[in-house]
Structure 1
């Protein structure tokens, strides 16, 4: 991610933009607090909040320095002396101001609601702090809720003599003690059934009769069916608490996908359950404490038992004893875990601070329409995640973070927060940092005027709250600290796809709430790194690849060789980062091979522009060899495509375009064709200067193209360009420069038709030296003949542009076949379709022409200087070399 940001920044800088990039660190939060406490072990018990905060700050600072030096080694360009840190006092002060602005608008409130709660971390969690474990095993149960009072309609359907039970299924047996109701879907059909084994009567959804009977290992005989609305006003007995009734209530969240179509409702342990309770005035009391353990209120059998362990076991045994358990079975399903401790969470009601995002969401969605998402599909993912989020719980029951700046009344359920208290706290935090909340006496945390009204010194009726802000609120307000000016918007936010529910979202929601604008113009979303076989990387599996080991090598360098920073950067850029990407030895070796081939290409370019001065030796495009003009035409096309790919942040496409060009167009084709001209012509011969002019342009375009990805290699090349006396950094010399006069689509027909003939010839002599053969090309009179004639004016030549392309000892161009040919010739036939788009009004030209390529061994000898078979004898120079040496 750091490398992707750096590639983007370097590209924009080379394009001439002023890049405002401030690297930063989220320094607060549970991972650090948990790590510090774990390292302290038993000593952690007696630590005060101030001591824990101090140790957490020391730990965070050390981690930051380590990461910072790694980023510098990776070639990430930034002002490393001026980063932002969320524990910086000015950052914290700006964050508290945003909190109050949202509170003042009525967007932040305190409420008793069910939230995701991590017993292992003893704190509330937001949706973005969960990860779902698909292998979680729950003990699911089928439970009877005996019908106490049927609705009138129901009474008429059952004879009244046999007892009837409502049938319920749940994956969380520990929530049964907190049951307050059973919910049904009013417009679904339900049935009264008789169990063939026990003769008992049950009520369940008509659609679920067969699957539930099968799960219970019995058959159900349907006695009657009725509509869900007919359950209205009915009640059933609580399966565990004698004399407690649970009403039957309508609810839209009841589904028929799993279970019985009747849903056990525990308002303290479910978001939908809670809304049913709010609608019908049910109790929302919670029987579970911060450790995920039953409280005394749960009764003597359950108290002090962990709900997800022994507590579940006891509840199931109690249901068995009450004869209300029909079946228990293990269910493997996806279940939320605390992403830091990797342990399951529960839903429990508690007093927390929330952001009412329903009000902000509408604004935020409207703002997202103007934001460019790369890939485009990420926009819908983010919208879906926002839709699924009913509220945002922003309070955490920890100490390493920014305090929620409110005071709680000591005896009443009342909080103190207003513009005066906030301004006072912001001033203190801006000067001394958020630690003042724990270090200063409460009297000093309030301004004098408010203190006088709140009981005065020594008799203060309020105490500072003990909750801290969710770290997503911390990081989500980074725009307020980093972007200069209140209206400033970042051009780009770039992060992993997990941040669609995290940083991207918290940044958008806070910015939309406070200033009614998105904090970003574009969002680039990358996937995760996987192991070579596609397995997820995790520290617990021990398969995480350390970038520093990739760069510097591991302990055993035969197994973990040092690849250097550029290989790591090339691999990052090459990966299709919009999906999951695999890393391992084969991916890194492939990247190293790519760079090795690129370095060889650059060596060839640098070596062959030695002795060339672009200012005095360049050949005008119109005077160049046709193949040289054609290469400039291809180069301009490459430059345009590379620029477009960078614009879209599709660095993988940049790598693919470059790799194809330097392997196929350059190494395999152009370099092999021009070697004779470069090495054997006179140094200042115009035909040699022609291809040197092109090599200098290719070098310039290619180095600038890969500079954002491979900055170290680009700078190295710029130090070695022979005609540059005082090299500057490549990043101070601008972006790719091409010329519109390079664009000559008409040349494509000439070179591509000649290449078709070249391919026929070379294909007929596999593994043999083309210079040992002569070629006769026969083309019927017409357009193709005229095009090829541009490359060779005379009938036979060893030095023409056409012969250079064929790489033969000599090439003869004829419009009709010769009458006599030696016996040992190879004859190859082909056709070429000429497709020229004409000028406006003149129409297009489409003409298919036939050609024949005749290949025969040369009768000449190998020239000792150029090694072409063009000499009269093996100890004399060929005519061309004799002329060059003579000069």
Structure 2
């Protein structure tokens, strides 16, 4: 024994069962060493990597080497790949997995509530991104023992489905029930196609138990939410401006708008002559003929003008045009930009504060004898225009607020088709406001001398999300939810919600702030009817808890078609009328409006989640749902229960082309997930299979826009291929190994094998954390680093000699196989949520379990705290540090052709190295295996009689044990000399006495029938 003292670390190592064990050796076909960074592998020299010549000694012993054997195929492509994935789904019970896990006992439940995709077409890559992200998390939670609650759903109502179902027919001559029948059939066909796609992608669910917003039970639950909100005074009917789509002839909610940033408007600067000077402005000479100057991008709204608004705390000036002596009133800070626009000098005549404009009255520019007041308003800005805002309460949300405050009339001059009514006058009646109506209004301004300037304005403008046509703002009698009274509660509820990424929280709050009310009525047939009756004479609505409860009960039994099918006497029976204290049923008619589909889907928490605690662990949707489903779900839940329906929100980006462009058929950059899986018949797109699609989702940075195309898909396929080969290597070397009877106790295993179990434990904890954070991209990065750095470059290359050339049942080989079996199991389970087909395929070939058992029914990675051993990491990594120095001294050379002398002064590092090699010199110790040399001499100092040609180098290794209690910066020296031994024809290590003579280890193996 070379130790001069007994240290704490030596005592620890001794407790492990320190011993001298056979080991060492090298990869059969070539020498592989370790790079200068920790645990990395390089090939310092190929050595004798040539295949054995027939009849040579090398060939003679080939059959005695234990090479990997497995039926697991190296590669699966084309139809074989597709057939194998479908076979795996069948053999491994993918269809029954969800039901199985719901029936098993579990301490905790994980509820991911599925936001319903729209049932109006085939599945696309956006669906793939969303559904696979959800499935990855669900499969992970199920594997780690939780009972997953996940019920897929579909949003089945709404205008887009109605329009597609009717196609060229339109609504002409069709009854509401006929329209609804066609829409239902269309939605059902779309659902069937989407459902088949989701199943093919490997999404785990009970596909016979989904939710659909057109089911009677769902509609009844939705009406219950509506009833509770109405009972709290949150649902009301009013006549106010809404986003109106002339192309769809219905009101729209904010979430149903798309903003076109390239919209071009004919903007005008127009004058409103001051009929009465504001009293607070001094009546000086020269201010008699002042005109208020306004700017608007929607000139068609000027006939509906009821006021001109100013900012009370801003500064305003009266200026004189140098080219015409015209006097104009505008904001002082807008004077310079207007002068440049008009191409003339504007001379300031007088300056005032906004508050001094109070009491001013203007003449209307297109309606003779009409006068409008000047009023203060908080929505006036100075970014564009003149600082004075033309105000038409019927056609603007802010304008309507001013009208409400100052009791201005709200006169609608625009009909449901977006045309002027007779109220606009004979010149404008029946003209489309966005086209010829705008032309005529500008002509009228010009004729009256009010037009100062016209310009083309490119700006963001709201469009109908489905027809892609501009919308207008017009007042209409609609049903609304008073979101203003819910905002503070909603914000408070959001504070308790975890948002990924956190940056999305700000967007959610901003969109919530922007919504002062929510229009929930739609003038269509395909939807859930608003359960309201109207008095035939007064028009007053009849709606209360009795009427709504009765309708909800009918919907649950018969579906919402009964609103049109049943006589009104069945919808309003005597007992309901009596409780409602209403007159005879003959006094009432049923309403025609249906509920907004965002209310449909926003009430899903009440219809789908478990009644005991209808709150999901997670909602996972794209960023477009910040103003859509996330918000409508939050508002309805807070209104009814004062809490959010979700504990966490995960917000992902959109799928875009490889160039970062939005996908569109016109650009020809649409990626069809069905073609990704099955390929194209013409061969232009190969069959990638479902796992490649899933890897693409997992690998992507889903918190930004997610690019997809040939490069991304080929990269995913190559990554899976590399992983497949690593798994195949593990399977091949575990052929015939049964861990139940042949596994080695961890304390008896080689230190490098124990060390790999220690790394596997660290790996499993990192993987678990990443899945828990919805970060599948990090899972893949951790996986790839572990495979390439820790396994392929370091461990596999180090242990191949022991695997291939040691006796089959030797402690060293069984120790290695014990580690390999744990690694195979851990890696396979860690990748299973992302690649379920590959994981189950590997599990079918893996040893040590019942053949009828499937991976997903057998749990998560089984790491053990026993694998975390003090000093183990330092022992192996200390050896790797020395190996780095060794390899650096022989760049490009074959490490197995050298003898290595390691000199370390007595201390912690020496004790650690001695735990790997007790003898002063060895050719088969664990230290030799790690060094990948022919022979290692371990000593406390370099011998004096070193050969003059020996290569010398020095280094240090910092040992840090027990949280810094034991620290030692340990120096070492190494001397490298070419070995005098010959190469063994069987193991190809330089440990033989003469050429073509077996080394002692191989002689023993062969003589015992190896």
Q: CA deviation at 1:716?
A: 1.2
| Deviation for aligned residue 1:81 | 0.7
Which residue, out of 766, 791, 800, partners 1:666?
791
d(CA) in 1 for partners of 2:408, 2:953: 91
How do 1:89-128 and structure 2 match up within 5 A? 89-128=216-255
Is residue 386 from structure 1 mapped to residue 519 from structure 2 by the alignment?
A: no
Contact 2:279 / 2:358 at 8 angstroms: preserved in 1?
Answer: no
Shift of 1:660: 0.9
The residue number in structure 2 matching 1:403 is: 529
Matches within 5 A, 1:556-705: 556-557=682-683, 559-705=684-830
Correspondence for 2:200? 73
Shift of 1:472: 0.5
How far is 1:770 from its partner?
2.8
Contact conserved, 1:829 with 1:852, CA < 8 A, in 2? Answer: yes
Q: SS in structure 1 opposite 2:280?
A: helix
Secondary structure at the counterpart of residue 490 of structure 1: coil
* Residue 833 (structure 2) pairs with residue 712 (structure 1): no
Separation of aligned partners in 2, 1:117 and 1:599: 55
Q: Is the 8 A contact 2:239 2:478 kept in 1?
A: yes
Q: 2:978 and 2:767 mapped to 1: Cα distance?
A: 43
Give the Cα–Cα distance (whole angstroms) in 1 for the partners of residues 169 and 150 of structure 2: 43
Q: Would you say the 8 A contact 1:443–1:451 is kept in 2?
A: no
2:258 matches 1:137: no
Q: Which moved more, 1:864-873 or 1:103-112?
A: 864-873
- Find 2:615's aligned residue among 473, 486, 489: 489
Equivalent pairs counted in the alignment come to 877
CA–CA separation in structure 2 for the residues paired with 1:402 and 1:765: 79
Residue 875 (1) aligns with residue 996 (2)? yes
Equivalent of residue 493 in structure 2, options 367, 391, 402: 367
Q: 1:164 aligns with which of 257, 272, 290?
A: 290
Q: Please state how far the C-alpha of 1:524 moved relative to its aligned partner.
A: 1.5
In structure 2, C-alpha distance between the alignment counterparts of 1:71 and 1:340, rounded to whole Å: 24
Deviates more, 1:511-520 or 1:594-603: 511-520
2:453 pairs with 327, 330, 334, which one?
327
Matched-pair contact (CA < 8 Å) for 1:140–1:169: yes
Checking the alignment, whether the CA contact within 8 Å between 1:480 and 1:486 is kept in structure 2 is no
Change (3 A) 1:592 1:158: farther
Q: Distance in 2 between matches of 1:869 and 1:311?
A: 95
**Aligned-pair distance for 1:199?**
1.3
Residue 15 of structure 2 is matched in structure 1 by: none
1:31 aligned to 154, 160, 169, which one?
160
Equivalent pair of 2:695/2:835 in contact (CA under 8 Å): yes
CA 1:317/1:105 → structure 2, altered by over 3 Å: closer, same or farther?
A: same
Q: Is the 8 A contact 1:421 1:447 kept in 2?
A: no
What is the CA-CA distance between 1:849 and the residue it aligns to? Answer: 3.4
The aligned residue for residue 27 of structure 2 is none
Instruction: Tell me, yes or no, if structure 1 residue 151 matches structure 2 residue 278.
Output: yes
For 2:201 and 2:889, the matched residues in 1 are separated by 49
Q: Does 1:530 align with 2:656?
A: yes
Contact 1:718 1:727 in 2 (8 A): no
Classify the secondary structure of the residue corresponding to 2:267: strand
1:835 deviates by 2.7
Q: Deviations over 1:391-445 (max 9, x none)?
A: 0100111111111111123332311222332233223222221112223333432
What is residue 554 of structure 2 aligned with on the other side? 428
Note the 1:259-270 alignment, pairs <5 A: 259-270=385-396
- Larger displacement relative to structure 2 (508-517 or 685-694): 508-517
Give the aligned partner of residue 106 of structure 2: none
CA distance in 2, matches of 1:24, 1:567: 25
The answer to whether structure 1 residue 848 and structure 2 residue 977 are counterparts is no
Deviations along 1:817-854, one digit per CA (max 9) or x if unpaired, are 3445556654444332233346xxxx634333333444
For residues 214-248 of structure 1, the C-alpha deviation after alignment (integer angstroms, 9 at most, x for no partner) is 22222211112111111111111111111111110
Q: Distance in 2 between matches of 1:42 and 1:27?
A: 20
Q: Compared with structure 1, are the counterparts of its residues 466 and 767 closer, same or farther at alpha carbon in structure 2 (3 Å cutoff)? A: farther
Distance of 2:209 and 2:451 partners within structure 1: 64
Instruction: Supply the distance in 1 between the matched residues of 2:724 and 2:373 (Cα, whole angstroms).
Output: 77
CA distance in 1, matches of 2:594, 2:884: 72
Distance 2:987 2:612 in 1: 70
Are the equivalent residues in 1 in contact too, given 2:246–2:471 (CA < 8 A)?
yes
Unaligned stretches of 5+ residues in structure 2: 1-129
8 Å CA contact 2:606–2:614 kept in 1: the answer is no
Task: Please list the CA deviations of residues 646-669 of structure 1 after superposition, one character each: whole Å capped at 9, or x if unmatched.
Answer: 222222211111111111111111
Structure 1 range deviating more: 443-452 or 204-213: 443-452
Structure number with greater CO (CA < 8 Å, separation at least 6) is: 2
Structure 1 partner of 2:151:
22
> Bigger CA drift: 64-73 or 773-782?
773-782
SS in 2 for 1:881: helix
Cα separation, partners in 2 of 1:797 and 1:95, compared to 1, 3 Å: same
Instruction: Give the SS at the match of 1:691.
Output: helix
For residue 728 of structure 1, report the CA deviation from its aligned partner.
Answer: 0.9
1:9 maps to what in 2? 138
Structure 1: which 5+ runs fail to align?
Answer: none
1:456 Cα offset (Å):
4.7
Is 1:343 matched with 2:464?
no
Kept in 2, the 8 Å contact 1:139–1:171? The answer is yes
Deviates more, 1:736-745 or 1:447-456: 447-456
Return closer, same or farther for 1:47/1:766 CA change in 2, 3 Å cut-off.
farther
Question: Deviations for 1:580-613, whole angstroms, at most 9, x for unmatched residues?
Answer: 2211111111211121111111111112122322
- Matched residues in 1 for 2:953 and 2:299: separation? 81
Identify the match of residue 278 of structure 1 among 404, 407, 410: 404
SS in 2 for 1:337: strand
- Are the structure 2 counterparts of residues 318 and 826 from structure 1 closer, same or farther at C-alpha, using a change threshold of 3 Å? farther
8 Å Cα contact 1:240-1:318 kept in structure 2 = yes
Do the aligned partners of 1:610 and 1:723 also contact (CA within 8 Å) in 2? no
TM-score (norm 2): 0.84
In the alignment, structure 1 residue 63 sits paired with structure 2 residue 190: yes
CA distance in 1, matches of 2:707, 2:148: 31
DSSP-derived class of the 2:916 partner: coil
Measured on the aligned residues, the alpha-carbon RMSD in Å equals 2.0
CA contact (8 A) 2:870 2:962 kept: no
1:284-310 deviations in Å (ceiling 9; x for gaps):
111111111212221222222221222
Match for residue 784 of structure 1?
Answer: 909
Paired residue for 1:232? Answer: 358
- Tell me which moved more, 475-484 or 618-627: 618-627
* C-alpha distance in structure 2 between counterparts of 1:230 and 1:87, whole Å: 58
Contact 1:403/1:467 (<8 A) preserved: yes
Q: Is the 8 A contact 2:555 2:562 kept in 1?
A: yes
